[in-house]
Amino acid sequence: MAFLVDVNDLCLLGYDYAFSPVYQFPRVIFADDEMSINKDNAQQVCHFINSMALTYRWKNFDLKGAHLLERIIVETAPNEIYQYVHLKNWIKINYYEQLQQFR
């Protein structure tokens, strides 16, 4: 089973997140690609990160990887990309470039 991120794990980087209870259980993955993500909401970012980890079956995914993905989503992904399918595609295309920026 893949490592799953908890909302409290995301608070470690100090982003100013909203904490509205959009998803009752953010660790449970039930999203489809048409869902939207609000990058200012901790539960939604957490849910998206877990969705990515499980969708792509990342075997070595850990908290460090979750924080890197969080930084990519919050800091560099364009704000006009908010649907899961488009954000996943943007990350797939730009991941290695972003990885170099944050290391």
pLDDT digits (tens, 9 = 90+) for 44-67: 888 888 888 887 777 788 888 888
**Considering its fold, how many domains does the chain have in total?**
1
Which pLDDT band, with edges at 50, 70 and 90, does 32 fall under?
A: low
Q: Looking at the domain assignment, is residue 1 inside a domain?
A: no
As a whole number of angstroms, the distance between CA 31 and CA 44 comes to 11
As a whole number of angstroms, the distance between CA 55 and CA 34 comes to 14
Q: At what angle do helices 63-71 and 42-55 cross, to 10 degrees?
A: 120
- Is residue 91 within 8 Å of residue 71, measured between CB atoms? no
Q: Which domain holds residue 33?
A: 7-102
Q: Looking at the domain assignment, is residue 37 inside a domain?
A: yes
* Residue tagged 């470690």 (tokens): 12
- According to the model, what pLDDT value does residue 64 have? 86
- According to the model, what pLDDT value does residue 103 have? 65
* Residue tagged 């877990």 (tokens): 50
Q: Would you say residue 84 has pLDDT above 60?
A: yes
Of the chain, the percentage scoring pLDDT greater than 70 comes to 78
pTM recorded for the entire structure: 0.79
As a whole number of angstroms, the distance between CA 19 and CA 77 comes to 21
Q: Looking at the domain assignment, is residue 2 inside a domain?
A: no
As a whole number of angstroms, the distance between CA 81 and CA 59 comes to 27
More confident residue, 93 or 43: 93
